[in-house]
Structure 1
Amino acid sequence: MSKPVVAIVGRPNVGKSTLFNKISGKRISIVEDIPGVTRDRIYAEAEWTGRTFSLIDTGGIEPFSQDIIMLQMKRQAEVAIETANVIVFVVDGQEGITSTDQEVANMLRKTSKKVVLACNKIDSPKYMNNIYEFYNLGLGEPIGISAGQALGLGDLLDEVVSGFPKADEEEYDDLTIKVALVGRPNVGKSSIINRILGEDRVIVSNIPGTTRDAIDTPFEAGGQKYVLIDTAGMRKKGKINEAIERYSVIRSLTAIERSDVSILVIDGDAGVTEQDSKIAGYMHEQGRGAIIVVNKWDIVEKDDKTMNKYKEDIMKALPFMSYAPIMFVSALTGQRVSRILEMVDIVSNQHALRVQTGLLNDVISEAVLMNQPAVSGGRRLNILYGTQVSVKPPTFAIFVNDPELMHFSYERYLENQIRKSFGFRGTPFRFLIRGKDKE
């Protein structure tokens, strides 16, 4: 199951970014006493009482403003609210209720999501009685906190975690391959899904995602069960523009977390964009099986060199995804769409591939003989042995004389040699470099 999502919302300058930084333990958001500083949603992983979750910081909501930046920030926060399992509504406990707070509260009362009301800046006993005023917002009991001094955050997070789905909930069995189609709006994700399902004609059901803002489509083809997770719901008709595209990222992230294999769909006419790079980076970081699908290939002007040139351009833009197979399709004409599921099967198998320890060490030994590690500070790296410790993604523990002697470039060399011997097509894998036991 994917990590729950918590969105921090509220009007500008109430301390949302300070709270975000305290909970995540990282100074990621810019904290400045000027309204509107946080214009983009920022997200991080956080943990409380053993539950990890994705935390979203948002720009402040100004319902009455017609300023274009404020309107974009409002839309951004709305998307975060739609995506979240739990919403933390931050208000200024020193200033009291404002008309903007009331409008935001009206917006939140319409959602079925759990809302936790955080009354911030209660950093002195003289402000404690201010909390009671916020009962008038109709969002339940306000929790007094001071984000700056980290006061009351335990009570706040206890209430947040209580709204999470149960940790042991699992919607599909282990034999079902969960496939997320992610990418910018209007690149053809839904069209590809419709082509796949239309050709297989074995739709079981359509299950609308609740907090995921995605559509799950379980189906079976060739005896294999799949679930296609479509994130195309992130696109608002008539509002496809640069601002709205930025808001799609968090929905892609939650879909990727739920998947076994993630398919990054790229607009063949537009090429790889910054947004594509962000989504691809998250696929890699999460260790998901990965396929890059270039859609709308039918409208790309091409000759016999175009495809290879396009692959080179993708690898330059996404060098960390060199293991991902690249496919060129057209959802409009159906060109090569039928091969997508074949590639999903291959990548899913490679993602779960396990290598015997003896074979792995044979490959490592041969790699070391062909290319000895460099000497550093008068010492040379000595690789004792390796073993695979897990799958999805494949993870290898490599035991050495001194982990500090393992240079990144040599680690990459070992990765290439292992891939050359065993494949691991479409899957990242991890190295855990361990020192030898002192005994």
Structure 2
Amino acid sequence: MQLPVVAIVGRPNVGKSTLLNRLAGGSEAIVYDQPGVTRDRLYLPAEWCGYRFQVVDTGGLVFEDSEQFLPLIREQVAIALAEASAVIFVVDGQLGLTSGDREVADWLRSQKQLPVLLAVNKLEEPSTALSLAAEFYALGLGEPFAVSAIHGSGTGDLLDALVAVLPKEQPEEREQAELRVAIIGRPNVGKSSLLNALVGGPHPRALVSEVAGTTRDAIDTLIERNGRRYRLIDTAGIRKKARVDYGPEAFSVSRAIRAIRRADVVVLVIDALEGAHDQEGNLAAKIVDQGRACVVVVNKWDALEKDTYTMNHYRERLREELNFVEWAPIVFTSALTGQRVDKIIEAVDRVAEQHQRRVPTAVLNEALQEALLWRSPPATRQGRQGRVYYATQIATNPPTFVLFVNDTKLFKEGYRRYLEGQFRSILGFEGSPLRFVFRGKPEREVARTARKREKV
């Protein structure tokens, strides 16, 4: 049994996302004073007086097709209503009752029969709130609740009424670890199509369009495969910072970058027809900086003309272009046809395991000794030789190793990369970044050694 779903609907720019953030106690939904910012369905958990439910934000309802997204948004709202146990219909109390509000009310009556609570938003002034809200009795949807999503006033009464109409039985809480997977990439590479393909089912989870920038919020979706739960995070396309203007896109990019930070595994999506560009390299660097496991997905593989050697040549070129994540597995897929989509989850499982892997100290030092045999540490011009005494692993997610050496200054970036390459060759760690910390001898030990030399 899943938590009850509450759909928040209304015209554009009436404050639906602000109310969602207020009810969920966060700031996940993008809020901006411009109609049409929200397009996809965004689900967030909420709780009131111990009762748990989900609130889903939806795009603004407009019953004309002057823009390409409007029919798709209505379809997304209809899907949200099909899943919902109740509806919060949000209107703008400052603007007053409009023909658009009447159209939404009539449309709600034609959909699945659900309890509808009318929230008259943007009523920050208590002295006029009730009189302004009274106008909306004309919609025939019962008592209008005067609320301010920004300040929170009136939302307690709204939530009391909401909980009263939701199912009384609550699902049992099950502690189940979930793997967080962020799907990132440049605009229009097929991230939302991949999400829909991974989720499956008759209804698309995310709105898909050929127009770049369709997705704006970071959309969380829970799925289960083979007894394991995954939280898939679809994100907005990330363009170069210089090309992003302040506004909805800037907030979208910020949400996408935040998704990398809260993910365990990042799926970096590349358009097979366009290949990797500088921006993919920048995103790969962000993944490594955050210490996240990575899977590279080459989407739209069905649209590329191929021969026997195309995949191998493409893979080799990608590893050169994405040198920050050259250790990441590459999956060639097509969200459109479903080709090898199942391989993405398999790759995610593999790299997540490596990201959490801990190597026994004895095994680690055997690998270290083999690396030292192949190539000795560097020495100074004066002949002072670098020495590595032993290594130990101090953390996972990502795997982090401490190497105790005689002098950290002797171990430059080139030799550190060599040791990482040897550790990967001997121990594996596919799809996970590795971190190395070099520690020199304690100062008192160095001083003791110096005194011994003086005596000699």
Partner residue of 1:367 out of 367, 371, 386: 371
Distance 2:380 2:292 in 1: 34
Equivalent residue of 1:361, what SS?
helix
**Would the aligned equivalents of 1:351 and 1:394 in 2 still touch at CA under 8 Å?**
yes
Distance 1:246 1:219 in 2: 27
Task: Report the AA paired with residue 190 of structure 2.
Answer: G
1:186 maps onto 2:191 in alignment? no
Distance 1:428 1:271 in 2: 23
**Would the aligned equivalents of 1:269 and 1:299 in 2 still touch at CA under 8 Å?**
yes
1:176 maps onto 2:181 in alignment? no
Partner residue of 1:395 out of 394, 400, 408: 400
Tell me which residue corresponds to 2:264: 260
Aligned CA RMSD, in angstroms, stands at 3.5
Tell me which residue corresponds to 2:162: none
Residues 298, 287 of structure 1: alpha-carbon distance in 2 compared, 3 angstrom cutoff: same
Distance 1:173 1:261 in 2: 21
User: What does the per-residue CA deviation read over 1:372-430, in whole Å, with 9 as the maximum and x for residues that have no partner?
Assistant: 12322321110011000000000000100000001212111111111122210000010
- Unpaired stretches in structure 1, ≥5 consecutive residues: 1-62, 64-73, 79-109, 112-138, 141-171, 207-211, 236-241
User: What does the per-residue CA deviation read over 1:68-100, in whole Å, with 9 as the maximum and x for residues that have no partner?
Assistant: xxxxxx99xx9xxxxxxxxxxxxxxxxxxxxxx
1:242-253 alignment to 2 at 5 Å? 247=250, 249-253=253-257
Task: Report the AA paired with residue 430 of structure 1.
Answer: R
Tell me which residue corresponds to 1:217: 221
Equivalent residue of 1:345, what SS?
helix
Task: Report the AA paired with residue 357 of structure 1.
Answer: T
Tell me which residue corresponds to 2:56: none
Tell me which residue corresponds to 2:146: none
Q: Indicate the percent of aligned positions where both proteins have the same amino acid.
A: 45
1:382 maps onto 2:387 in alignment? yes
**Would the aligned equivalents of 1:246 and 1:275 in 2 still touch at CA under 8 Å?**
no
Tell me which residue corresponds to 1:333: 337
User: What does the per-residue CA deviation read over 1:135-164, in whole Å, with 9 as the maximum and x for residues that have no partner?
Assistant: xxxx99xxxxxxxxxxxxxxxxxxxxxxxx
Distance 1:271 1:259 in 2: 24
Tell me which residue corresponds to 2:441: 436
**Would the aligned equivalents of 1:394 and 1:429 in 2 still touch at CA under 8 Å?**
yes
Equivalent residue of 2:231, what SS?
strand
Q: Which has the larger radius of gyration?
A: 2
Equivalent residue of 1:431, what SS?
strand
Distance 2:381 2:310 in 1: 47
Distance 1:427 1:420 in 2: 13
Task: Report the AA paired with residue 279 of structure 2.
Answer: Q
Residues 246, 367 of structure 1: alpha-carbon distance in 2 compared, 3 angstrom cutoff: farther
User: What does the per-residue CA deviation read over 1:246-292, in whole Å, with 9 as the maximum and x for residues that have no partner?
Assistant: 85643321110010000000011111122222211101110100010
**Would the aligned equivalents of 2:180 and 2:231 in 1 still touch at CA under 8 Å?**
yes
Tell me which residue corresponds to 2:161: none
Distance 1:173 1:302 in 2: 46
**Cα deviation, residue 173, structure 1:** 6.5
Partner residue of 1:314 out of 318, 322, 325: 318
Q: TM-score, normalised by structure 1?
A: 0.55
1:409 maps onto 2:408 in alignment? no
Distance 2:335 2:312 in 1: 21
Residues 355, 249 of structure 1: alpha-carbon distance in 2 compared, 3 angstrom cutoff: same
1:283 maps onto 2:287 in alignment? yes
Tell me which residue corresponds to 2:273: 269
1:10-409 alignment to 2 at 5 Å? 175-198=177-200, 213-232=217-236, 247=250, 249-378=253-382, 379-409=384-414
**Cα deviation, residue 175, structure 1:** 2.2
**Would the aligned equivalents of 2:268 and 2:295 in 1 still touch at CA under 8 Å?**
yes
**Cα deviation, residue 352, structure 1:** 0.2
User: What does the per-residue CA deviation read over 1:176-227, in whole Å, with 9 as the maximum and x for residues that have no partner?
Assistant: 100000011211111111111117x999x99xxxxx9311111211011110
Residues 348, 193 of structure 1: alpha-carbon distance in 2 compared, 3 angstrom cutoff: same
**Cα deviation, residue 174, structure 1:** 7.4
Distance 1:340 1:421 in 2: 25
Tell me which residue corresponds to 1:425: 430
Tell me which residue corresponds to 1:98: none
Task: Report the AA paired with residue 331 of structure 1.
Answer: A
How many residues matched? 267
User: What does the per-residue CA deviation read over 1:24-52, in whole Å, with 9 as the maximum and x for residues that have no partner?
Assistant: xxxxxxxxxxxxxxxxxxxxxxxxxxxxx
**Would the aligned equivalents of 1:183 and 1:252 in 2 still touch at CA under 8 Å?**
no
User: What does the per-residue CA deviation read over 1:103-157, in whole Å, with 9 as the maximum and x for residues that have no partner?
Assistant: xxxxxxx99xxxxxxxxxxxxxxxxxxxxxxxxxxx99xxxxxxxxxxxxxxxxx
- Unpaired stretches in structure 2, ≥5 consecutive residues: 1-32, 39-120, 123-149, 152-173, 207-215, 446-456
**Would the aligned equivalents of 2:280 and 2:322 in 1 still touch at CA under 8 Å?**
no
Distance 2:194 2:307 in 1: 24
Distance 2:332 2:374 in 1: 36
Task: Report the AA paired with residue 214 of structure 1.
Answer: A
Distance 1:288 1:243 in 2: 25
Distance 2:249 2:372 in 1: 45
Tell me which residue corresponds to 1:29: none
**Would the aligned equivalents of 1:202 and 1:219 in 2 still touch at CA under 8 Å?**
no
Task: Report the AA paired with residue 184 of structure 1.
Answer: R
Deviation beyond 3 Å, 4+ runs, structure 1: 242-249
Distance 2:176 2:197 in 1: 25
Residues 428, 353 of structure 1: alpha-carbon distance in 2 compared, 3 angstrom cutoff: same
Equivalent residue of 1:180, what SS?
strand
**Would the aligned equivalents of 1:252 and 1:279 in 2 still touch at CA under 8 Å?**
no
